[in-house]
Amino acid sequence: MTGFLTLLARNRLALAGGIVLLLVGLLALVTPLLPLADPDVTNTSNRFRPIFSPDALLGTDHLGRDLLSRLMWGTRLSLAVGFAAAIVAATLGAAIGIIAGYYGGRTDNVIMRGVDMLMAFPYILLALAIVAALGPGLLNALIAVAAVNVPFFARNIRGITVGIAHKEFVDAARLAGLSNTRIILSEILPNVVPVIVIAMSTTIGWMILETAGLSFLGLGSQPPQADLGSMLGEARSALITNPHTSIVPGMMILIIVMAINLLGDGVRDALDPRLKSGALSRPMAATRVDRKAPVPAPTGAGLLDVQSLETQFHVKDRVYRAVGGVDLHVEKGECLGIIGESGSGKSVTALSVMGLVASPPGVVTGGAVYYDGEDLIGAPYRRLREMRGRNVAYIFQDPLATLHPLYRVGDQLIEAIRAHRPIGKAEGRAKAVDLLRAVRIPNAETRISDYPHEMSGGMRQRVGIAMALANDPDIIIADEPTTALDVTVQAQVLTILDDLRRSRGLAIVFITHDFGVVAQLCDRVAVMYAGRIVEEGRTAEILDAPRHPYTARLMACVPELGGGKRRLEAIAGLPPAVNKLPPGCAFAERCTRVQEDCRQGHIPLARAGGHGVRCLHPIDDSREAAQ
Ligand code: ADP
Ligand code: MG
């Protein structure tokens, strides 16, 4: 709640609106206590006195009534009616919406068709018809305004409720044996209240206007009782000769409605969690680049050559060094593994290559990524788009999240192919079937018209691979593509990737946290920890004799089939937070071999042959590593 208020207060306009509204509301509340003239006493000899007359501060109207007093009483009435109408409409509408959305089926159909019928009338006509049927009067105007706004709330809330009613936590409540009423009150209602408040805060102003409109037409408050609408209506005939009689109530309506709308927008922004960090902006199409240090020159090593890449997240005044100077290279047709615990910066490294890190908050602050000699960091968006998918393609962990749920997988494949090549639909389809065959999906011709939800997880990941292959890329970056799959399916997917690599000369950057997978697939492996590469070399060599204590500990976490009884060692402690990296070795806190000098200064990646290790006291003996 305090969070909500501080967010609201940070929005200057909303704050201003809130203060104005509070003042107007307070004045309306204390009106009966103020020494005001009687608003309804006429004195025709005193009519049309101008503003700032000695006995009438805002002048008098066509019957000589004190305008200030009428304004205050009228505001009081208009606010009361507007708020009452909003509360009635919101309560009724929300109740209808929740019931329709929660019960669904026939209940939903019957209720919503009724709501649709109400919505089919222009609402002003409907309000007029209701007042005409009930007879003029303020209470009837309130009923009419509330009634025409009920459908708006009902529709809104029903939509939200339908979404919530099928969520797992509602199913869980049902399984726990709660009654429907309890579920609605304890599970559904708390989730829709913010939406109700938002809808209300943005419509109250509108309802005050509608009530004023009905009063203006003489259908709302009846003389001599004043509300803002009827004051305007009565002043209409003197609009030219004595404009102040119109301006006074008109200004008040303007002020109230403006204040409510500004506050309402602020409430909406503060309540919507997606807007909470103030990030109304969308991520840019390519990661922001802000390189201070000189850009390293290409070494010519490999097809993809990443040099001292640094990617950070700037959130308010905090800086997260997710990737802190990573050097990598991948040859044509080679498979490079990147391994490390969750949070070590593997995904951010991979996404930085093609400028796919969301900015804000992501920023590439240093280094270069050379693809065939061309620096991709800071390349124009057009160029990146040309290369995404065609030169470097990605496979992500969760294929259900990357496939569009409403399109058939074939159509999505064809779209991916046609994004880079101007070919016809039929040709695209033939190619899509070929791709599905290449990733060994049985009955590719029929499977092509499946929706993603009709496939199993392994099948979907194969579609993900097919999609990455769609434009014959040279490099595929696979970010934990098998983590969500079970072991047998994982083995199949790995075999497919390995075959494709050999048959098509693909280079693969394979990101994982599982040494078993690396052993099976990768030629070389880079071990990441806290945004840095701590060890790098040929897979066989590292598996044989890991030199960095972290690598050794990671390998000790892998169970071996038929390896007999052995303690599986979890690594004690947690990786450091990347916004508070310690000086020296980031692994020092958890390392058993730590010494004084480990905690001081930068530790470089020392290379010997093809094997690099970032450690001052590396393991020398392979027997020691196995302990
Ligand atoms: P992983 O190795 O598991 O793929 P990531 O590359 O996803 O790890 O994340 C690396 C680090 O960057 C983590 O510490 C994570 O907290 C941080 N990070 C990732 N995305 C953001 C973000 N949008 N804002 C702040 N920090 C982030
Ligand atoms: Mg990741």
pLDDT tens-digit map of 518-538: 888 899 999 999 899 999 999
Q: What is the CA radius of gyration of the chain?
A: 34
Domain assignments of the chain as residue spans, ordered by start: 2-33+57-275, 336-342+379-525, 541-626
Place of tokens 């003489």: 218
**What residues flank ligand 1, with Cβ below 6 Å?**
313, 315, 320, 322, 340, 342-348, 361, 578
**What pLDDT, on a 0 to 100 scale, did the predictor assign at position 422?**
87
- Tokens, residue 41: 């006493």
Instruction: Grade residue 564 by pLDDT with cuts at 50, 70 and 90.
Output: low
Helix (H, G, I), strand (E, B) or coil at 329: strand
Judge whether 617 and 584 are in contact, CB under 8 Å.
Answer: no
pLDDT at position 77 over 80? yes
- Tokens, residue 250: 């008109």
DSSP 37: P
Query: Which of 254-263, 303-312, 352-361, 472-481 shows the lowest mean pLDDT across its residues?
Result: 352-361
**What pLDDT, on a 0 to 100 scale, did the predictor assign at position 568?**
64
Tell how strand 475-479 and strand 392-395 pair up. parallel
Instruction: Grade residue 567 by pLDDT with cuts at 50, 70 and 90.
Output: low
Of 267, 253, 270, which is closest to residue 7 (Cα–Cα)?
Answer: 270
**What pLDDT, on a 0 to 100 scale, did the predictor assign at position 143?**
93
Q: What is the DSSP string of 270-299?
A: HH-GGGTTS--SPPPSS-EE---SPPPPP-
Distance CA 113, CA 598 (A): 72
Length in residues, the chain: 627
Q: Pick the more confident residue, 21 or 627.
A: 21
Q: Which atom of ligand 1 is found nearest the CA of 577?
A: 14
Q: pTM of the full predicted structure?
A: 0.69
For atom 18 of ligand 1, the residue with the nearest CA is 322
Distance CA 161, CA 94 (A): 10
**Percentage of the chain surpassing pLDDT 70?**
95
Distance CA 595, CA 279 (A): 44
Q: How many CA atoms lie within 13 A of 272 on its CB side?
A: 13
Sheet containing strand 475-479, strands side by side? 392-395, 475-479, 507-512, 335-339, 524-529, 532-538, 611-613, 606-608
- Tokens, residue 67: 């305008």
* Sequence-ordered strand ranges (E) for 404-497: 475-479
Of 311, 291, 258, which is closest to residue 18 (Cα–Cα)?
Answer: 258
* Mutation test residue for ligand 1: of 310, 312, 313, the one with most atoms within 8 Å of CB: 313
- Determine the average pLDDT of the residues in 316-324: 85
Distance CA 517, CA 289 (A): 33
| Cis ω for the linkage preceding 224 (within 30 of 0) | yes
Helices (H), 470-514: 487-504
553-572: string of b/e by CB count within 10 Å (b at 16+)? bbbbeeeeeeeeeeeeeebe
**What pLDDT, on a 0 to 100 scale, did the predictor assign at position 462?**
87
H or E element that contains 339: strand 335-339
Q: Which atom of ligand 1 is found nearest the CA of 575?
A: 14
Mean pLDDT, rounded, of the chain: 87
Give residue 319 CA to ligand 2 midpoint distance, Å.
19
**Percentage of the chain surpassing pLDDT 90?**
37
The separation between the first and the last C-alpha atoms of the chain, rounded to the nearest angstrom, is 53
Instruction: Grade residue 459 by pLDDT with cuts at 50, 70 and 90.
Output: confident
State the ligand closest to the CA atom of 324.
1
DSSP 388: B
Homologous superfamily of the 2-33+57-275 domain (CATH): MetI-like (1.10.3720.10)
Judge whether 256 and 264 are in contact, CB under 8 Å.
Answer: no
**Burial of 45 (C-beta count, 10 Å sphere; 0-12/13-18/19+):** exposed
- Determine the average pLDDT of the residues in 556-580: 73
Distance CA 202, CA 198 (A): 6
H or E element that contains 304: strand 304-315
- Tokens, residue 128: 């007029």
Give residue 542 CA to ligand 2 midpoint distance, Å.
22
The backbone torsions φ and ψ at residue 524, rounded to the nearest 5 degrees and listed phi first, read: -130, 160
Residues whose CB falls within 8 Å of the CB of residue 7, separated by 6 or more in sequence, listed in order:
269, 270, 276
- Determine the average pLDDT of the residues in 167-181: 92
Judge whether 363 and 311 are in contact, CB under 8 Å.
Answer: yes
State the ligand closest to the CA atom of 396.
2
- Determine the average pLDDT of the residues in 511-516: 87
518 alpha carbon, distance to own chain's centre: 34
383 alpha carbon, distance to own chain's centre: 27
Q: Which CATH architecture has domain 336-342+379-525?
A: 3-Layer(aba) Sandwich (3.40)
Q: Which atom of ligand 1 is found nearest the CA of 511?
A: 4
For atom 17 of ligand 1, the residue with the nearest CA is 322
Quick check: do 2-33+57-275 and 336-342+379-525 share a fold? no
Q: Which atom of ligand 1 is found nearest the CA of 480?
A: 4
Distance CA 442, CA 455 (A): 12
